[in-house]
Structure 1
Amino acid sequence: MVKIIWNWEEQIVVDFLLETCSTSNIEIENGFFPEPVVVYDINKQTQYTCKSGYVTTDGEISGSVTCLQSGWSAQPKCIKSCETPLFKNARTKSNRTWFKVNDTLDYECHDGYENRHNDIKGSIVCGYNGWSDTPACDDPTEKCGPPKAISNGDITSFLLTMYPPGSRVEYQCQSYYTLQGSKYATCSNGEWSKPPRCIDPCIITEENMNENNIQLKGKNDKKYYAKAGETIEFMCKLGYSGNTGMLSFQAVCQEGIVQYPRCK
C-alpha cells in the first residue's frame, strides 16, 4: 500500500511503502490457515493448523508465523506424526506424546504376558500409515497355534506359529469349489472356531454324456465344471430322444455328484 504525503513548502512528494504479507503468498504442506486469504501488516502474527495426523516441527497441532519487512518469518511446515499408542498388557518407559516418521518406540509386556512374537519385549516404528504394529501382549495360554487346513482350500494370509486371542484368518476355496460356512475362523481361549468346507464341483465329461446319448444345452464343451447347487441343462444328441419331460434334463450338482438324464 502507498501512502502519499504532500510537502507544501517544497512541493515534493515523498512515498512511504508500507510492507504487508498475504496468506495467499504462502503454502503450508499438510496444513492450512483457518481463515480465508488475509493481508497482515508488519509485526502481525497469524496462526496455522496442521491436518489430522500431522504436527509442527515442535510437536504441536498448530503454529504461528509473523509478517516481517522481508516477508513471513518462516515457512510453516507440518510433518507426519504418530501419537502415543494404546498399550494392551504392556508399558513403555517413554513419556513422549508424539513421534516423527521412522521414530522407534520400545515397550515391554506385563508379567506373565507375551507379544505375538512370543517375546516379553518389542519395538514399533512410526510410519506414514501409522505404527508398524500394535503394542499388545496376551496370556500365552489363550493364544492359538496355526489355524486348521481345509481340503481344496487355502488361508489367504501368511501363516504364523502363534496367534493372539481375537485373531482372525480368512479362507478361500480353489477354483470351482464352493465355500460352505463362514469364510473366517477366530482364535478364542486358545482354540480356533470351526473352519468352512470347500464343496466339490461336478465334472461333466464327454465320456459320461456319450454313455447317456446327451450333450450340454447351449454349450459345446466336452468337459464342464459345475459348482455345488448349480443347475446343468442337457439335451438329447441328434437322432436320440428322451422318454421323460423337459425338467428331467435339468440336473443339479450335489457335492460332486450329478444324476445324468438318458436318451435312446
Structure 2
Amino acid sequence: MTLPDKMFLSCLGLVLVLSHPGVLHAQSSAEHCSAPQLEGGFLVPQLQFYLHESKLAYACNFGQKPAVEGWWATSVCLNGQWSHTPQCIDENACFAPDIPNGKYNESPEGLWYQEGSVIRIKCDEGYKHKGLGATATCTKGAWSALPVCERSEMSCNEPPNIPHAVVLHKYQDIYAGGSEVHYECEDGYSVEGANSRKSVICIAGSWTPAPSCTISKPGPEDDGDTSGGMTKPVDGSRGRGQGGGDTDARVGAPSGGATTGVSTGGSTASETGSVTTSDKTESTNSPLVIAVSNCGSYPKVPNGDVVRKRTMSLRYACNGFYKRVGPETVVCYSDGTWSQLPTCKEAFCQLNLDEYTNYNFQESGTLILKERETKRVQCIWPDFTGRISCTKGQIKISPCCHERDYYYNRCH
C-alpha cells in the first residue's frame, strides 16, 4: 500500500469517528470481559480481554465436553460478564433435563450432573407420574428413562364462571384435586343463603356446586338471622303455595316438632315471606300433601340434586364423595311448605402425600378417597405398594409392602 493510500485511510477513519462519536462512546462506556480460565480446553480467539458483545468459541480435550449442549460452545461478553462461564466437564456427565410439568433437585454443579447422579421428579399440582418410575440416573452422559408427568384424573379445569363474582386466586389452567377456590361477589350482590359457602372444591375431577351472587335486598332476609337453615329454591326465585303467600324453603326443621312460623290455620307464613319445611306429625291441623308443582321451584340442597321427579314427590341424591342425611323423598303441602329436606354430608378423606415422605411413596400431591375406599400407592421400590384407607373420615396408612406379603397377609 502506497503512502498516499495510507494517508487516505487514516483520514477516512478520522472522518468516521468525528461523524459518529456516539458509537465510540457506547463502546467505551460498556465494560470489557477478562479472558476466562478454561481447564481442559482452548479458546478461539485467545485474547487478554474482550470488548462488550464480543463472542468467543471454545472446545474441550479428549474425554471432556463443554458444560452446555454440543462438542463446542460459544459465550458472549455482556458488559463485563460472560453469558455463561466456559467450562469443560467429563464427557459422561449429564445436562439438566427438561421435565414438562415436573420439578427435581438442583445439581450443586449448576447446569450439569456427575455420572451416577440420581434425580427424583416431583410432578406439579394436578399432575401425576405416568407409570411406576419417579427417578432417573445419569449413565454415560445420558439419563435413564426420564419420568413423565401426565395430568391427573382427579384434577379440574378452571373453576365455573359465576355471574357478578370474581375468583380471589391467580388464574391457572389446572387445579389439583382438593383445591379450594374462593369467590367474592360484586358490590350490591351477596351469596344466596346465610350458610352458603363462597367457594368451590375440586373433587374427583369436578367442582362442587358453585354459589350464586344475587342482588342484596334490605329487610328481614338480610338481618343475618340464620335460624332454621333458610335456603332459596333452585333457580333463586320465590315459590308460591296455594295459600298465595310468597315463600322461601327452610331446611332442617327439628324432628318431631313443627317449625316456627308454620301456619296451622289455613294461611301461609306470609308475614315473613318464607316457605318452611317441617315435620307435620304433631300439627293439629296438618295440611294435605299435594302436587309438587304447587310449591314453586324445587328447594336447593347443597351438594345434592333432584334425581327423580314425580307428581307428588321429589327424590334427592347427593353428589359423589357426599352422603345423604335425612329423608330421601320430599313432598309439597297444601299450605305451600315443603317437607323436611335432606342434607349432604362430606363422606371422603383428603391426604397430602407430600407430607408423608417418610413412607417412601412414589406419588405426590393430594389424594382423595371416598368413605370406606382403600387405594394402593406405588412406592419407590419396584413391586412395593402402600395402602391408604378412609373410614368414618379417618385415614389409615399402611407402610410399603411387597406384593407377595400382601398375598400372604403379612402386611400390617
Assess same fold via TM > 0.5: no
Q: Report the TM-score when normalising by structure 1.
A: 0.38
Q: Which has the higher contact order (CA 8 A, sep 6+)?
A: 1
Which structure has greater helix proportion? 2
